Chain A
């Protein structure tokens, strides 16, 4: 067993497996919660849509995929803010920090669990909920037959469309999620709430400053209007992605310097 390298794929895989198995019951509980919430939405949606439209199936897909898309984004946001949940307690920090894997492996491992892992689990929860919905509706007899059917592929296709692969929308999504990643690395407790509060405060701050300095903003916009549209786009995306990179680097640096002491504010001990 090689122990000296800074990043080893087999060790990363071992870490992901270890983390997953150590917290399996917690993950199952959370996904079950998501499945139950989606199931309730699906059943209620089926009941309200049934008999109200000539194409109930498509309306059901449209409604549920909108709800599922929103739920999916919120789930990823919450999951990223919980990226260092094992570090919530002193004992948890000791167990996590002392596990023989490199800091990079642990960071990437937790990131993969909090993004790809939770995304896969969400889709599985949606699938289970859709199957249970059909079984539940069947038990009601023929009353809701017009919304009966396995609409999971349609829901997934609609979700993919609504999450909009356009670069601008993807950039904003990733920017927002990166903020929760940084928050998760900064605060181990109530990270989602704290990150949301900071985002709100910063948003209000910039809104107020922009309002107070409206003449500066107007002059800047006039100046920008003289530039090439491509340059403005490049500038816009450059700033967004520079901020994303800064948040990711910041999150990793915070994690790299983590110790057994819980941060009181921002800086290390």
Chain B
């Protein structure tokens, strides 16, 4: 049995305003509304968010909450019904060569040509000004990809790794990944975290949408949770660490004062406002945080967001 205990200290003196000031916002989503059919229920509604350079975002949400849809809108593969999605001020749906050469999306279901990764990279690289052949070689070595094998003859996991390698080698300023670790074995997931960390830099934005929260826990800087057409939280992980405390308690023990609790193997996991006690520090458990935010979105939004959402329907 493995229990994950996360205890995050609250620091009432922390000033988070500096995290958003003086930073150039790269991707702006403004009052976005999108639905897949003309009269259908919107997948995203009155949705606004800014994505800043130099950060790795973890995008979490239930099935059908609009994570993939949001990524496609950011890539310019879908057109908003209302509102706007802009990349450096330009609407993404225009898909101009300038924006496309700085954007790469790794979708959940990938399609690869019947060529080797090096053959494909030779042609693909000519479209991306920042294409880095050395980094591609690094990824091929890390992922243990066979460079002489046609990508269509690889297993799903191997093809995914090849696709991720090509994506990272283009050195995009905006990298979107939809369930990138799906199909990867356990060693590959560790390799994946390594290459993503190596590929991230100060002027790139990486957004990873996943259900496998454990795969990205130690990778991301900022967590974004969406549900029911809306943005629930968009906060640095450090803030979660500073403001919340998670304790594992025995069954029957009182959870008075807890903001959220859920049964886990061996007891109850409960979230409290952080007390600042030094022996409460543990690695962040994104899964429990996710369940907590979904159960009380208004409450956690007020605790975690700088500007809490005023959605009275939640």
Which residues of chain A have a CB within 8 Å of any CB of chain B? Answer: 1, 3-6, 8, 11, 14, 17-18, 21-23, 25, 89-95, 97-103, 105, 257, 259-261, 268-269
Contact = CB atoms under 8 A, between A and B. Distances in A.
B78 to A, nearest CB: 5
B36 A21 contact: no
Nearest to A269: B36
Contact of A94 (B105, B128, B129): B105
A18 B121 CA distance: 10
Interface of B: 36-37, 72, 75-79, 93, 95-98, 100-101, 103-105, 107, 109-111, 113-115, 119-120, 123-124, 126-129
Contacts of B128: 100
A96 to B, nearest CB: 10
Interface centre among B93, B95, B100, B101 (most CB of A within 10 A): B95
B98 A3 contact: yes
Given A93-B77, A94-B111, 20 more contacts: A6-B96, A11-B97, A11-B127, A18-B123, A21-B123, A25-B114, A97-B95, A98-B95, A98-B103, A100-B101, A102-B96, A103-B95, A257-B79, A259-B77, A259-B78, A259-B93, A261-B36, A261-B78, A269-B37, A269-B78
Given A21-B123, A89-B111, A261-B36, A3 B129 contact: yes
A139 B103 CA distance: 58
Contacts of A93: 77
A98 B105 contact: yes
Contacts of A98: 75, 77, 95, 100, 103-105
Nearest to B79: A259
B79 A100 contact: no
A1 B129 contact: yes
A8 B96 CA distance: 12
B82 to A, nearest CB: 13
Contacts of A99: 100, 127
A261 B73 CA distance: 12
Given A11-B97, A268-B79, A22 B107 contact: no
B40 to A, nearest CB: 10
Nearest to A86: B111
3 nearest A-B pairs in the assembled complex, by CB-CB distance = A91-B111, A100-B100, A100-B101
A238 to B, nearest CB: 34
A105 B96 CA distance: 11
A14 B127 contact: yes
A5 B37 CA distance: 33
Contact of A100 (B78, B97, B111, B114): B97
Nearest to B101: A100
Interface centre among B98, B107, B113 (most CB of A within 10 A): B113
Nearest to B178: A94
A22 B111 contact: no
Contacts of A97: 76-77, 95
A27 to B, nearest CB: 12
A89 B127 CA distance: 22
Contacts of B101: 3, 100
Contacts of A3: 97-98, 101, 129
A91 B100 CA distance: 16
Contacts of B72: 260
Contacts of B76: 97
Contacts of A92: 111
A179 B79 CA distance: 27
Contacts of A11: 97, 127
Given A259-B77, A269-B78, A102 B97 contact: yes
Interface centre among A5, A23, A259 (most CB of B within 10 A): A259
Contact of B123 (A5, A17, A91): A17
A263 B104 CA distance: 24
A11 B129 CA distance: 12
A6 B77 CA distance: 18
A103 B100 CA distance: 11
Contact of B115 (A5, A21, A103): A21
A93 B77 CA distance: 9
Contacts of A22: 113, 115, 120, 123
A261 B79 CA distance: 10
B31 to A, nearest CB: 19
A269 B230 CA distance: 21
Nearest to A17: B123
13 contacts: A3-B97, A4-B96, A14-B126, A18-B127, A97-B95, A98-B75, A98-B105, A100-B101, A100-B128, A101-B97, A259-B79, A260-B78, A269-B37
